[in-house]
Amino acid sequence: MWLMICSENDSSALWAFQGLQARGLRPFHLVTTEMLTRSTKWEHTVGVDGAQINITLADGRVINNRQVRGVVNRMTHVPLEHLAGASDYDYAVQEYTALFMSWLKALPDPIFNGVDTQGLSGAWRHTSEWVWLAAHAGLPTPDYSQTSHDQIDESVELRRLLPETTKTMMAITVRDRVFGPTLPTTFRNGCAELARISQTPLLGIEFGVKPGSNSLVFAGATPMPDLRLGGELLLDALAVNLFRREGSK
C-alpha cells in the first residue's frame, strides 16, 4: 500500500492524491490528520527488530508500516483538539507528540517528506538557515541581516528576504528533478542540491527578482509547497519515485 498523509483541508495534497491514484498507485490510502483522532486503535511497538505500527481507522482500514511501499507526508501538526480539558493536558501533549514522531519515523522509504526534529513533514527552518543552505547549494542569495527594524511577514511571523512588492515564482523538487517555471541549468542544479543537503526531497524553492537588477535570487523555501504548481509532470515523477523500492513486488 501507499499513503498520503495530510489535513483534510490540504487541497494541494488531495489533488495529488487523485492524480497519483490515476497513475496506478493502488491501494493508495488517504489518511488525514483528522482521521487519526476519530475512534482509532493504535498499536506501536519498538524492539530489536525495529519499530512496528498498526493503526486501525474508524472505517476499518489498517495501516501497517511493514506493508507500506511509499508515503507522501504532508502532516503539519499533531492533532490535539480531543485532549482539550484533560487534567494532565501538558503531559498528554508531550506524550502524544512523541507517539506521532515515533510512528512517522517508522514509515519506510521512499517518503516525501520524512519526520524531522524541526517538523513532522520535513524541517521548518529559520530564514537564516535556509539562506545559508541555499548559498552552499550554489543558488544566488540576498544579503541577510536581522534587526528590530526589519519588516515582518505576519502570515508566517518571519522577516522578508525581499521587499513585499517583489514578484516571486516557485520551483518544486522531486529529489533531483525540478518542476515549475523554466530556470537556467545552474538554478535547477542548485535546487536539486538544496533538496539534497536539506534532506527534503519534496521541496518548494521560491525565487524573486533581486532589487536593482533583473536577476533571480533565492527568496525562501518550504517543505509544504503547493504541488499543483508542478503540474502533471511533477505527479509523473512522484509516481515513479513512489514505485521504486528495492526488493518490492
Do 69 and 134 lie in one domain? The reply is no
**Measured between alpha carbons, how far is 100 from 242 in angstroms, rounded to an integer?**
22
- Cell readout for 160 is 522578508
Same domain membership, residue 61 and residue 20: yes
The reply to whether 229 falls in a domain is no
Report the distance separating Cα 32 and Cα 15, nearest Å.
14
Distance of CA 28 to the CA centre of its chain: 18
Q: Are residues 178 and 192 in the same domain?
A: yes
Task: Give the count of domains, the chain.
Answer: 2
In a domain, 231, yes or no: no
pLDDT score, position 244: 78
Whether residue 99 is found in the same domain as residue 131: no
Please give the pLDDT value at position 39: 73
Residue 7 and residue 35 in one domain? yes
**Alpha-carbon distances of 240 from 97, 143, 162, 177, 229, rounded to whole Å:** 32, 38, 36, 12, 18
161 lies in the same domain as 116? no
Confidence at 153, pLDDT banded by 50, 70, 90: low
| Whether residue 48 is found in the same domain as residue 143 | no
> Which residue from 155, 158, 14 is spatially nearest to 74, judged by alpha carbons?
14
One-letter identity of residue 237: A
How far is 198 from 178, CA to CA, in rounded Å? 15
CATH number, domain containing residue 143: 3.30.470
Residue 157: domain span:
127-222
Place 40 in a pLDDT band, splitting at 50, 70 and 90.
confident
**Residues found in the chain:** 249
- C-alpha grid cell for residue 79? 492533532
**pLDDT > 90: what percent of the chain?**
72
Residues 100 and 23 in one domain: yes
73-127 pLDDT per residue, tens: 999 998 888 778 788 888 888 998 999 999 999 999 999 999 999 999 999 999 9
Same domain, 211 and 193: yes
Q: For 113, phi and psi rounded to 5 degrees?
A: -115, 155
From the list 178, 185, 189, 154, the residue with the least C-alpha distance to 238 is 178
Closest by CA to 223, choosing from 192, 198, 191, 240, is 198
pLDDT, greater one: 184 or 50? 184
For the stretch 134-147, pLDDT in tens is 999 999 998 887 76
Q: Does some domain include residue 154?
A: yes
Give pLDDT, residue 143.
83
Is 228 within the bounds of a domain? no
Name which residue leads in pLDDT, 234 or 209: 234
Please indicate, yes or no, whether residues 15 and 113 belong to a single structural domain of this protein.
yes
**150 lies in the same domain as 95:** no
With 50 as the cut, is the pLDDT of residue 237 above it?
Answer: yes
> At 28, which helix (H) or strand (E)?
strand 28-32
Cell of 155: 502570515
pLDDT at 214: 80
46 and 94 share a domain? yes
Is residue 152 one of the residues assigned to a domain? yes
Percent of the chain clearing pLDDT 70 (strictly above): 91
| Three-class SS of 66-104 | HHCCEEEECCCCCCCHHHCCCCCHHHHHHHHHHHHHHHH
